[in-house]
Structure 1
Amino acid sequence: MHEVDPAYMGLAFPEALSIAQWREQERKRLIPARQGIPSVERSARTDAIVSALDQLLANVRGETISLYWPFRGEPDLRAWMNTLIARGADCALPLVLAKGKPLGFRSWRAGEAIERGVWGIPFPSKGRDVRPTIVIAPVVGFDESGYRLGYGGGYYDRTLAVLQPKPFVIGVGFEQQRMESIRPQWHDIAMDAIVTEGRTVSCARAQTPDGASSANCR
């Protein structure tokens, strides 16, 4: 839920419209391909992602980590949340507070009450409002510069633009979702790292002279 449509930023000019249309075509290609991964293979790939995340986040004690409820074939990290809590972290899920506004975050652990929100995605009913220090966001697509293609709602970009202090942001997905470029715009915010079943891409963020976010990844 992170891409921005032209109306959101007032970008009603041909170049922005063509990028928005191209991104929508990419979503229509990438999402069914992800949903088509056999369940056994998806589980094995997710296990590899979890192993990589454990290496990246070796010490989580005292951290507040926002994850997500899996949707449309995304890696399912809910069982890993129990491990994070056992290691001393607090876990949270995002929720849509209002259309066109940044996300909120509520604490959650397995067994606690949930409600259905936007697109039917569950969110905590009675969790504490928290501010994450680490955000783990699913990707529809990603590129080598650490930019993330989402579902088109703009929520993650809006949220990451205003969260202070800045959290450490990790995009997670399968290697087959890699793109040459998402054709990032000035409002797109690069991840600090991308984790797939095959590798971890670390990105150093920097501000360009025009205020846009750029990334140097390896």
Structure 2
Amino acid sequence: MVAPHIPPPCNDPPDIALRKKALRVQCAAALRARDVERDQGIIHQLEPLLRAHAGPIACVWPLPHEVDLRPLCHTLAHTGITVVLPQTPPRGAPLVFRQWHPDSTMLAGRFGTHYPDGPIMEPALVLVPLLGFDRAGNRLGYGGGYYDRTLAALPHAARIGYAPSTQEVAHLPCGPHDQPLNCIVTEKEVIRFG
């Protein structure tokens, strides 16, 4: 992915940063305690949305406690859709996406992530893992700002957040660099915005 510029670091004002920090603790605990059977329902809701796109589609290789989209990656690849996965660069830069296929060699990345040993490609659609979300479309990540910088660098890419319904909170604070989503997908529904 080549961006014309690197967006600024995603530093929230102190009051918003403190509220997000407290919510991250709550949402991380809910994610770890969830019934992982919900993951299949999320994939079931995502599949028809993704089949409408030619790709490349940016999926996510999960960390141990995250929603596992690997079955979805395989399904998309077997239907001929190009799948890319993120490589996490040093802090302050947007994610880099590399082409993945079922036979790809996976390499160890930063923060316990894995990415394929494939060519760099720019996605047309980005799936965004959510630690938390609200009905207004606000989202909560891990706090590194990677997806905010990435989405800012890809203004024309479709953006779909996904999370178990257990991750919904009544209200999330929104910082000046938070990037909006087109929709959020849970195992129960697709919540659309704009």
Correspondent of 2:175 among 162, 165, 185: 185
CA distance in 2, matches of 1:28, 1:183: 15
Quote the residue 1:85 is aligned against: 77
Give the C-alpha shift of residue 181 in structure 1: 2.0
Percent pairwise identity:
33
Contact kept, 8 Å, 1:35 with 1:72, in 2: the verdict is no
Contact kept, 8 Å, 1:69 with 1:121, in 2: the verdict is yes
- The residue type paired with residue 33 of structure 2 is G
Name the larger-Rg structure: 1
Q: 1:172-211 residue pairs with structure 2 within 5 A?
A: 172-204=162-194
Between Structure 1 and Structure 2, how many residues are aligned?
A: 187
Quote the residue 1:51 is aligned against: 44
Q: 1:127-138 residue pairs with structure 2 within 5 A?
A: 127-138=118-129
User: What are the Cα deviations for residues 22-67 of structure 1, in whole angstroms up to 9, with x where unaligned?
Assistant: 1111111111221122xxx31x21111111112323434x310101
RMSD: 1.7
TM-score between both structures, scaled by the size of structure 2: 0.89
Quote the residue 2:19 is aligned against: 22
CA distance in 2, matches of 1:58, 1:132: 14
Q: SS of the residue aligned with 2:38?
A: helix
- The residue type paired with residue 153 of structure 2 is V
CA distance in 2, matches of 1:64, 1:9: 26
Deviation >2 Å, runs of 4+: 7-11, 55-60
The runs of 5 or more residues in structure 2 that have no matched partner are: 1-7
Q: 1:23-38 residue pairs with structure 2 within 5 A?
A: 23-37=20-34
TM-score between both structures, scaled by the size of structure 1: 0.80
The runs of 5 or more residues in structure 1 that have no matched partner are: 1-6, 205-218
Q: Tell me, yes or no, if structure 1 residue 147 matches structure 2 residue 138.
A: yes
Correspondent of 2:90 among 94, 98, 101: 98
- The residue type paired with residue 158 of structure 1 is R
Q: Relative CO higher for 1 or 2, CA cutoff 8 Å, sep ≥ 6?
A: 2
CA distance in 2, matches of 1:192, 1:86: 26
User: What are the Cα deviations for residues 118-160 of structure 1, in whole angstroms up to 9, with x where unaligned?
Assistant: 2111112x20110000111110001112121000000110111
CA distance in 1, matches of 2:171, 2:30: 18
Correspondent of 2:106 among 91, 109, 114: 114
Give the C-alpha shift of residue 9 in structure 1: 4.8
Q: SS of the residue aligned with 2:126?
A: strand
Quote the residue 1:162 is aligned against: 153
Contact kept, 8 Å, 1:93 with 1:123, in 2: the verdict is yes
CA distance in 2, matches of 1:143, 1:35: 19
CA distance in 2, matches of 1:9, 1:30: 20
